[in-house]
Amino acid sequence: MAATPVGFTRRTLLARAAVGLTGGVFASLLGACSSAAPTISAPTAGAPAPAAPTTAPAAGATSKPAAAAAPAGARGSGGALRILMWQGPTILNPHLSQGTKDSIAGRFCCEPLMTVSGDGKFTPVLAAEVPSKDSGGLSADGKTATYKLKPGIKWADGEPFTADDIVFTHQYVTNTQTAATTLGLYVDLDKVEAVDPTTVRLTFKQPTGGWYVPFVGAGGQILPKHTLQQYVGTASREAPFNLKSFGTGPYMVQEFKPGDTLTLVPNPNYREPNKPSFSEINIKGGGDAVSAARAVLQTGEYDYAWNLQVEAQVLNGLLQGGKGDLVIGAGGGVEQLHLNQADPNTDLNGERSSPASKHPFLTDQRVRQAMALAIDRETMAKQLYGQSGNASPNVLTTPTNLSSKNTTLEFNIDKANQILDQAGYKRGGDGVRMTPDGARMHVVYQTTINSLRQKEQDLVKSGWQQIGIETELKSVDAGVFFSADPGNPDTNSHFYTDVEMYTSTFGSPFPLNYMKAWYSGNPEIDIAQKANQWSARNYLRWVNADYNKLFDQVKSETDVQKATQLWMQMNDMVVSSNVTIPLIDRNSVDAKIKSLNGPNLSPFDEWSSNIADWTKA
């Protein structure tokens, strides 16, 4: 890793994760990130501008805010909150989401048992306390975690929340026909049992250091059984809940137009009587990151803007508008290139990029190595990201103690050309190389529409064309690219091009689901394809038995140091194979108006997770 992200330390993040922990203890054991998201205000006149770090309710649920204004300090008394998410949400069921945007939207409404802050501290949400050995919540054999639930919690429609809802969520997600995108977080559970209405017991198939993976953070959002029990399996995409969700959280959906607008109103049964503050949240999708930043920092037209993957110098200029600040969080994810191992141009039984196919040249590790050598990642970081991201040789960078020290960055056009020459990929008269079988080395390289990403594409294309690989650039609207629509051929999970680029985020301090992106233990379940509605994590169609062995081993490893070494080995295997090329280790960057208080970014939960605590002067 080129540099440690802001606010992180290199202490062991997973220390004693499998033994008894209390809520405050986890911070000292897993300390890796800054707990508070810093803000950057507009520079004073004459001073150099700081660079910007990046990186339907069920029947009976109230769906309209109260007509009369709420008294000061009461629920809904803070007026409306205006948010820009230029990657607009497309589905509101967090377990069917294909991107962070959808998980963020779901998190306004649905909640997990616990959340994890950037400094590694567990905080109970629906749980009454953090399980520990002392309390009897964690078993001595490392196979059982028992949660006591907060009493008296209701769903937004007034129905009681019980342990049965947690059992149901597990059944919903692990039904493979549901095609849940969060399946990887739950497959290691043997069973989930309701001991009584306010107690749930999780039993794992084997001892694990990641007992806190299921039902925690963004991927742990719990669903209402009474609303969704008829929509398990093949019927999962038909549920009205997917477009008009509600939960135990502070808000519920009033109106939703996928990719465009989302209106949220307070949950009338939320457990804290004076929260949330806002009478309405209006989320607007579409546009681009620069326009979103401008609407908050320069004009103040909106209160909050998410995911400002914008050139640092542009953000610095917008900060001069004086209307807002940047909200910064470490561990924003790694911007990375994925090289398709299947053939996106061959149709097999109505499916391109079928796992049964083979890419004509990207399956050759020598080609992938040359392509990695031809990318100037240091220049990309300095010219486009500034302090908002570092050139990264690793795909796993967060928690920082898991970031491998065995990898290096190398940019060498001459070496890349030499590798391809020796491998028998000869140049044609126009300079484009041909495979030994006579196929033209032409790649289609796709990413989302974003001015910074288009500049990244240009830089990558320049290097690849210097080594004789013809590169065609494709840009897709983010709402389409990260869509959960199984019928949309332009999603990143379909991967109907040769190369694609996006940022992957980590989700949990035990990065099981993140590293599942390269796992293929059960190809029918783990590799994205038509049979599983492209919901699986492995979009690359990469199969590597050695990687699978390490992945299976780390799941049951309770020794922290051994687990750390296994995570690093998995990273090193991905990097050395060049099947994925890490580019930039990003920080998260959002923007808020100066009068808005409460936003706090964590690499292990969504920024909407603490929306009940936000206020506006």
Tens digit of pLDDT for each residue in 124-147?
A: 999 999 999 999 999 998 899 999
Binned at pLDDT 50, 70 and 90, residue 404 comes out as very high
> Measured in whole angstroms, how far is the alpha carbon of residue 177 from the centre of its chain?
23
Residue 7 — very low, low, confident or very high, per pLDDT cuts 50/70/90?
A: very low
Q: Is the pLDDT of residue 14 over 70?
A: no
Domain that holds residue 440: 343-586
- pLDDT beyond 80 at 588: yes
Q: What is the pLDDT of residue 63?
A: 42
The pLDDT value given to residue 314: 92
Whether 432 is in a domain gets the answer: yes
Of residues 209 and 365, more confidently modeled: 365
pLDDT band at 204 (very low <50, low <70, confident <90, very high): very high
Residue 38 contacts residue 430 (beta carbons within 8 Å): no
Model confidence at 23: pLDDT above 80? no
Token pair belonging to 95: 């377990």
Q: Are strands 433-434 and 114-116 parallel, antiparallel or unpaired?
A: unpaired
The Cα 380–Cα 412 span in angstroms is 15
Mean pLDDT across 500-505: 95
User: Residue 582 phi/psi, 5° resolution?
Assistant: -70, 140
Q: What is the pLDDT of residue 90?
A: 94
Residue 604 located in a structural domain: no
pLDDT score at 10: 27
Average pLDDT of the residues in 582-598? 96
Q: Is residue 539 part of a domain?
A: yes
Q: What is the per-residue pLDDT across 560-575, written as a single tens digit (0 to 9) for each? A: 899 999 999 999 999 9
Question: CA-CA distance, 302 to 446, in Å (whole number)?
Answer: 30
Q: What is the mean pLDDT of the chain?
A: 88
Give the model confidence (pLDDT) of 304-330 as tens digits.
999 999 988 899 899 999 999 999 988
Give the per-residue pLDDT at 61. Answer: 43
Tokens of 314: 């542009």
Does pLDDT of 270 surpass 60? yes
pLDDT of residue 382: 92
Q: Name which residue leads in pLDDT, 450 or 165.
A: 165
Does pLDDT of 13 surpass 50?
no
Q: Does 55 score more than 80 pLDDT? A: no
Which of 52-61, 272-281, 336-345 has the lowest average pLDDT?
52-61
Cα 368 from Cα 576, distance rounded (Å): 10
CATH number for position 400 = 3.10.105.10
Q: What is the C-alpha to C-alpha distance for residues 547 and 383, in angstroms, rounded to an integer?
A: 34
DSSP annotation string for 222-285: PPPHHHHTTS-GGGGGG-GGGTS---SSSEEEEEEETTTEEEEEE-TT-SSTT----SEEEEEE
pLDDT for 46 beyond 60: no
Query: Phi, psi at residue 304, to the nearest 5°?
Result: -150, 140
- pLDDT score of 68: 54
HEC string of 410-446 equals CCCHHHHHHHHHHCCCEECCCCCEECCCCCECEEEEE
Matching residue, tokens 């499998």? 18
Domain contains 122 = no
When pLDDT is cut at 50, 70 and 90, the band that residue 41 belongs to is very low
Q: Is residue 58 part of a domain?
A: no
97-119 pLDDT, tens digit each: 978 999 999 999 999 999 998 77
| Within-domain flag for 429 | yes
pLDDT at 37 over 50: no
Is residue 444 in some structural domain? yes
Distance between the two ends of the chain, CA-based, in angstroms? 40
The domain total for the chain is: 1
pLDDT digits (tens, 9 = 90+) for 514-546: 999 999 999 999 999 999 999 999 999 999 999
pLDDT of residue 69: 61
Backbone φ and ψ for 336, nearest 5 degrees, come out as: -145, 155
Indicate whether 123 pLDDT > 50: yes
| Residue 55, domain member (yes or no) | no
Report whether pLDDT(468) > 60. Answer: yes
Least confident of 109-113, 262-266, 296-300, 478-482: 478-482
Least trusted range by pLDDT, from 7-16, 105-114, 156-165: 7-16
Report the share of the chain in percent with pLDDT over 90: 77
Q: How far apart are CA 420 and CA 359, in angstroms?
A: 17
Say if residue 35's pLDDT is above 80.
Answer: no
Contact, 179 vs 529, CB < 8 A?
no
pLDDT of residue 369: 98
Taking only the tens place, the pLDDT of each residue in 321-367 is 999 999 998 899 999 999 999 999 999 988 999 999 999 999 999 99
> Does residue 488 carry a pLDDT above 70?
yes
Give the model's confidence band at 437: pLDDT under 50 very low, under 70 low, under 90 confident, else very high: very high
Under the banding of pLDDT at 50, 70 and 90, the label for residue 386 is confident
